[in-house]
Amino acid sequence: MMMNTKEKILVAALRLFAVNGYEAVSVSQIAGELGITKGALYKHYKNKRDIFNCIFEYVCRLDVERSRKSGVPEQDYSDMPEAFSHVSAKSLGNYMKEQFRYWSEDEIACNFRKMLTLEQYKSPEMSALYQKVLVSGPLEYIENLLCEMSKEQEKLLPSPHALAIEFYSPFYLLLSMSDGTDCKETKEEIAQRYMRYIDDFFQKYFS
Cα–Cα dist 117/121, whole Å: 8
Cα–Cα dist 16/32, whole Å: 11
Owning domain of residue 81: 58-205
Mean pLDDT over the full length of the chain: 94
Select the more confidently predicted residue: 115 or 3.
Answer: 115
Residue 34 lies in a domain: no
Residue 5 lies in a domain: no
Residue 39 lies in a domain: no
Cα–Cα separations (whole angstroms), residue 134 to 27, 30, 116, 183: 27, 26, 9, 24
Of all residues in the chain, the percent with pLDDT exceeding 90 is 91
pLDDT in tens, 131-149: 999 999 999 999 999 999 9
Among the residue ranges 9-18, 84-93, 149-158, the one predicted with the least confidence is 149-158
pLDDT in tens, 73-130: 999 998 988 999 989 999 999 999 999 999 999 999 999 999 999 999 999 999 999 9
Cα–Cα dist 61/163, whole Å: 28
Q: Which of 53, 83, 82, 56 is nearest to 68 (CA)?
A: 83
Q: Residue 154 — very low, low, confident or very high, per pLDDT cuts 50/70/90?
A: confident
Residue 156 DSSP SS3? coil
DSSP H stretches of helix in 25-86: 27-34, 38-42, 48-70
The confidence score (pLDDT) of residue 96 equals 97
Residue 121 identity (one-letter amino acid): Y
Mean pLDDT value of segment 155-163: 94
The confidence score (pLDDT) of residue 23 equals 93
The confidence score (pLDDT) of residue 3 equals 78
2 has pLDDT over 90:
no
Residue 47 lies in a domain: no
Residue 168 lies in a domain: yes
Residue 76 lies in a domain: yes
Q: Which of 200, 15, 166 is nearest to 93 (CA)?
A: 200
Whichever domain contains 141, its CATH number is 1.10.357
Residue 20 lies in a domain: no
Q: ∠ CA 180-132-16 to the nearest 5 degrees?
A: 50
CB 107 within 8 A of CB 10: no
Of all residues in the chain, the percent with pLDDT exceeding 70 is 99
Q: Residue 21 — very low, low, confident or very high, per pLDDT cuts 50/70/90?
A: very high
pLDDT in tens, 55-64: 999 999 989 9
Q: Residue 1 — very low, low, confident or very high, per pLDDT cuts 50/70/90?
A: low
Q: Which of 72, 67, 65, 64 is nearest to 88 (CA)?
A: 72
The confidence score (pLDDT) of residue 152 equals 85
Cα–Cα separations (whole angstroms), residue 24 to 116, 129, 150, 151, 162: 13, 18, 46, 48, 38
Number of structural domains (the chain) is 1
Residue 50 lies in a domain: no
